[in-house]
Every structure is written in C-alpha cells, then in structure tokens.
Amino acid sequence: MRPELLSRLEAVADRVAEISRELEQPAAAGDPERLAALSREYAHLNPAAKALAEYHRLETELAEAQRLAGDSDAEMARLAAEETARIEARRETLEAEMITALLPADPDDGRNVFLEIRAGTGGDEAALFAGDLFRMYSRYAERHGWRIEVLNASEGEVGGFKEIIARVSGREAHARLKFESGTHRVQRVPRTESQGRIHTSACTVAVLPEVEDVDEIDINPGELRVDTYRASGAGGQHVNRTESAVRITHLPTGVVVECQDERSQHQNRARAMSLLQAKLLAAERERLSAERSATRRLQVGSGDRSERIRTYNFPQGRVTDHRIGLTLYQIEDILGGGLEPVIDALLSAEREDALAELAADAPA
C-alpha cells in the first residue's frame, strides 16, 4: 500500500481512538446532538480502523510465514508457502477495503427524497412517458421496501402526468436514487401516432434530499405567500369539500410548492414546507458547486435537469445511460422497476471516480 494512504489510515485510527475516549466521558451523554454526531462519525470511521489493525496483524504473520518458507524441512516449507499465499491474498483484499473506507461519505445518502417528474418536449407522449417513469420508480421502491407518497400530481390529457411530485422514504433512498436527476428521453411510436412513426419525447427528473433539520436552510416566514384551495386529486370526498390543499410561494426566488395529498391543511402545509426547504437547499448547493466549477462525470447531487442522462429506445429494446456509456437491452425489465443493473453501474462508477480523486489528491 502507498505510504501516503497508509498514513491517512493511521490518522483515521487515531481519530477513532479519540472519539472512543470522548464517548466514554460523562459529558458526552449530556449533549445529545454532540453524542449523535460523534456516534455517526465513529460508525463511519471504525471499519477502516479495524481493517488497519487486521492489516498490521497480517504483516506480522506474513513475515513469520516467509521466514518459515525457507525452512530446511520440506513439509514445513510447503505449509509456510501456502500460508504466505493465503495471507497475501487476504492482505490484497483488505487493502481494497481500507482504500474504499477512506472515501468520504455523502451526508445525504441516508435521507429520504422528494422525486419530481415533469413532462417536457413531446406533448401527450411526454406525459405518458412521465407516467411510465413514475411507475418504474414506484416498482423500484417496492423492491426495496420504501414508501412512496404522492404530494401533488397534474394528469395528462390522455394519461400519464404533466407533473408529479412524490416523497420516497426508506433506507438508502437518496443513495440509490440520486443519480436520476436529469433529462430522460424516450424513442417509440406513440399511441396517438397513426402513421407508425417513431417520436422522441422527454421528461425531466429531479431528486432532492429531504431536509431533516430546519436549521439547515433559513426561511423567513415574511417572505412566503401561502394559498389554500380545494384539492382536486386523490384523497376522498373530505379533501374536495374543504380548502385543505396548500400552495407556498417563496417570494425572493419565485419557487412554488404544492401539496394536496394529506387530509388536513396543517399536514399539507408541513409537507409543502419540507419540500420548499429541500428545493432551496438544493438550489444553494448547486450555486456553490457552480462557483467551485466542480464538474463531475455523474453530476451526482447537482440536480442539473438540463443534462440528457438516459435514453429509452423501444424499437431497439435498449436503455442507454449517457454518463457512463452503459447500454442494456432490458427495456421492459428496467421500466418494470428493475433499475438495479443501471444504478449499480452508476454506484460503481461513482466509487471509481472517488478513488481516482483520492489517489490524485494523495501527496507524492
């Protein structure tokens, strides 16, 4: 292993020991926020520290095995050679695990998300495609045991959605859906096409991490306009008889959010505020990212919906992710919720990018 990476791991091990000592102090229990932060940091760093301890133990065992491999006793030398091979193989695996453990964690990966799908170019066909995408994500969510709640939806004239916004909650929701932000294109013969011609339509998708701490983004109540109206979507007769739906406009930015899914105005307002916080936080992060000119191949977390990220070609039965040059001839499976091959490939590419950045940043 490169000395500079080993040095980083030693620093991680020292930090883990420091956190462990702090967690043992009575004062830690008296500060719940500090305790939670330390516990999260410990959980993230401890695997690397444990791997480093095993790595040092293996080095000692390897030195002993190599010494015995030169023994004059042939049987002893053979056993030592086998042990040397085993230790070297384990050490190689451990090195990869430790390097991966050095990669910075995405602080949003454990969050729930707001999923927005909007029909773009293509008219009715784009709305139908938006419906297909929402069904794809809904089935993918079911596979992972996530909960999906529709907050607001505007249906298309012949089906699908002009726009649909949903909250997706569950373990690793953001970690696995964060790559979906961008423009999705579909190439197929629309149901409304009488001449059998292939059309290209598009939808934009945005995945926004839910803001858990209201202090993360400061919103001045005086800069909000809150309107209530009768809900027109699902929810039963109750919501249609009362002004339970809520629309909030953030006046400085012009950002508008709506929620009409919940039965009470109070619940809809709370959910709309949460969505507004997520939108404003995402906009601020995108602004800071642009200032740093941090262009990355996967555009992870950027929310850049102008970028074409994926094409679904029905005549050829293929799905192509343009960011990593991945083409799969499994369009029915993927649109049926089988997104694993695509998302797993994107996760792998993200890891490779991060490892390359780690190596480049390491001192020579």
Q: What is the pLDDT of residue 129?
A: 96
Please state which of the ranges 97-106, 202-211, 352-361 shows the lowest mean pLDDT: 352-361
* Mean pLDDT, residues 199-204 taken together: 93
Same domain, 42 and 21: yes
Read off the pLDDT of residues 165-179 as tens digits, 9 standing for 90 and up: 999 999 889 999 999
Same domain, 331 and 190: yes
Residue 98 resides in a domain: yes
Indicate the pLDDT class of residue 91, thresholds 50, 70 and 90.
confident
Q: What is the pLDDT of residue 193?
A: 72
For the cut 60, the answer to whether the pLDDT of residue 90 exceeds it is yes
Domain boundary among 53, 71, 102: 102
Indicate the pLDDT class of residue 195, thresholds 50, 70 and 90.
confident
* Mean pLDDT, residues 236-259 taken together: 75
Same domain, 194 and 129: yes
* Mean pLDDT, residues 57-81 taken together: 86
Same domain, 207 and 227: no
Q: What is the pLDDT of residue 329?
A: 97
Q: What is the pLDDT of residue 173?
A: 93
DSSP code of residue 211: P
Same domain, 235 and 167: no
Q: Please state, for a pLDDT cut of 90, what percent of the chain lies above it.
A: 37
Same domain, 200 and 255: no
The CATH number given to whatever domain includes residue 69 is: 1.20.58
Same domain, 162 and 279: no
- CA 174, CA 152: separation in Å to the nearest integer? 20
Same domain, 203 and 158: yes
The CATH number given to whatever domain includes residue 338 is: 3.30.70.1660
For the cut 60, the answer to whether the pLDDT of residue 82 exceeds it is yes
Residue 59 resides in a domain: yes
Q: What is the pLDDT of residue 301?
A: 35
Residue 168 resides in a domain: yes
Indicate the pLDDT class of residue 216, thresholds 50, 70 and 90.
low
Q: What is the pLDDT of residue 232?
A: 64
Q: What is the pLDDT of residue 204?
A: 94
* Mean pLDDT, residues 118-128 taken together: 92
Q: Are 349 and 358 in contact (CB under 8 A)?
A: no
Please state which of the ranges 210-219, 251-260, 323-332 shows the lowest mean pLDDT: 210-219
For the cut 70, the answer to whether the pLDDT of residue 207 exceeds it is yes
Residue 143 resides in a domain: yes
Same domain, 203 and 125: yes
Residue 154 resides in a domain: yes
Domain boundary among 78, 102, 126: 102
Residues 328, 329, 333, 335: is their CA dihedral positive or negative? Answer: positive
Same domain, 193 and 117: yes
* Mean pLDDT, residues 118-143 taken together: 95
Residue 94 resides in a domain: yes
* Mean pLDDT, residues 153-176 taken together: 92
Q: What is the pLDDT of residue 305?
A: 43
Indicate the pLDDT class of residue 5, thresholds 50, 70 and 90.
confident
Quote the domain boundaries for residue 94: 3-102
Q: How many domains does the chain have?
A: 3
Residue 358 resides in a domain: no
Same domain, 128 and 140: yes
Read off the pLDDT of residues 312-325 as tens digits, 9 standing for 90 and up: 999 999 999 999 99
- CA 317, CA 130: separation in Å to the nearest integer? 18
For the cut 80, the answer to whether the pLDDT of residue 309 exceeds it is yes
Domain boundary among 70, 102, 134: 102
Kindly write down the DSSP assignment for every residue of 96-149, as one continuous string.
Answer: HHHHHHHSPP-TTTTS-EEEEEEE-TTTHHHHHHHHHHHHHHHHHHHHTT-EEE
HSE, CB side, 13 Å, CA atoms: give it for residue 20.
10
The percent helix, strand, coil of the chain (3-state, each to 5) is 50, 20, 30
Same domain, 127 and 178: yes
Instruction: Work out whether strand 182-188 and strand 113-119 pair parallel, antiparallel, or are unpaired.
Output: unpaired
Q: What is the pLDDT of residue 236?
A: 40
Q: What is the pLDDT of residue 306?
A: 53
